[in-house]
Structure 1
Amino acid sequence: MSRPAPWRLARETYPKHEVKQTRFQDLDTMGHLNNVAYAALFEDARVRMNQELGRVSRGKMAEGTFRAVVARNEINYLAEGSFPEDVDIGIGIGRIGNRSFEMLSAAFQSGQCIATCDTTIVMTDLKGENLPADFVDRLKKVLVTGG
């Protein structure tokens, strides 16, 4: 695996940001954030982005939206994360396809990118139909910059 492109490591690439508290239980035996903690931090930011996009309401699929699943989730660990410092998760939309879209995110501590996460989300229902046009319009409003 190669290191992510430089634009992926810049905080300003991402249109949305969530500051997350780290927890003592997020540490591994080496004293840094473990891989499960990174996955949970990125997942929480994705869920909140889906809420903003109108797909999720109170942790459940919003009425009138489409069903979709995570088809791919790739985390690149770039540096050690620490406790008790907060993690700033930057997130936005990368590629938009006919029946799928990609959420790109990065975790920052002390201004340094410590990990990136690429998640592909794919529609599972409405076979033969594309992502709804109004939803695609909302995705376009939070595209990442760069690349």
Structure 2
Amino acid sequence: MTDFAYEHDIEVRFRDLDPLGHVNHAVYASYCEQARIRYLREVLGLTADDLPMVVANLELNYRKPVTFDDDLTAAVAVTSLGESSFTMTYELRAADVVATAETTQVVVDRETKRPTAVPTEWRERLREYEPSLE
């Protein structure tokens, strides 16, 4: 079980809905992205110019539909830290857990466009914020 020290409220917009009145499945990835960017801003102090990374993997598991009137929260944690990548786990909640997700980000050198080491400063901050990281 993942402990989540970080949460971000997400507004469900009318444009997020499909013809049945549920949030379209593809929008869940955007919700995760929104929570991921907030986490990186608030925990690592990064700006849009400081995000030299790509999402190398995304896995989403849907449990319940989300509707326009739902209060949605994304819980986020970094659960694994590699040499040039790190994994983030998400729980999207509207009263109950409505979806879970996992992304793997790879840090990329802006000049060479090749994977590069996760910066030492990021590692230190992540380990402070996420005690379960070793």
Does the pair score TM above 0.5? yes
Conserved in 1, the CA contact under 8 Å of 2:55 and 2:103? yes
**What does 1:119-138 align with in structure 2 at a 5 Å threshold?**
119-125=103-109, 130-138=117-125
Q: 1:128 offset after TM fit, Å?
A: 8.1
Matched, 1:32 2:32: no
1:140 to 124, 127, 132: 127
Q: 1:136 offset after TM fit, Å?
A: 0.5
State the distance in 2 between where 1:115 and 1:55 align.
27
Q: 1:132 offset after TM fit, Å?
A: 2.0
> What amino acid is the match of 1:56?
L
SS in 1 for 2:32: helix
Conserved in 2, the CA contact under 8 Å of 1:93 and 1:144? no
Q: 1:118 offset after TM fit, Å?
A: 0.4
**What is the percent sequence identity of the aligned residues?**
28
Conserved in 2, the CA contact under 8 Å of 1:53 and 1:135? no
- Aligned pair count reads 129
Match of 1:83 in 2: 68
Matched, 1:102 2:92: no
Q: 1:140 offset after TM fit, Å?
A: 1.6
State the distance in 1 between where 2:33 and 2:84 align.
21
RMSD of aligned residue pairs (Cα, Å)? 2.2
Conserved in 2, the CA contact under 8 Å of 1:15 and 1:144? no
Q: Which runs of 4+ in 1 moved over 6 A?
A: none
Mind listing any 5+ residue stretches in structure 2 that lack a counterpart?
none
Mind listing any 5+ residue stretches in structure 1 that lack a counterpart?
1-6
State the distance in 1 between where 2:43 and 2:49 align.
11
Match of 2:58 in 1: 73
* Greater RCO (Cα-Cα under 8 Å, separation 6 or more): 1
Conserved in 2, the CA contact under 8 Å of 1:94 and 1:144? no
When normalised by structure 2's length, the TM-score is: 0.84
User: CA 1:40 to 1:129, structure 2 compared with 1: closer, same or farther past 3 Å?
Assistant: closer
User: CA 1:29 to 1:99, structure 2 compared with 1: closer, same or farther past 3 Å?
Assistant: same
When normalised by structure 1's length, the TM-score is: 0.77
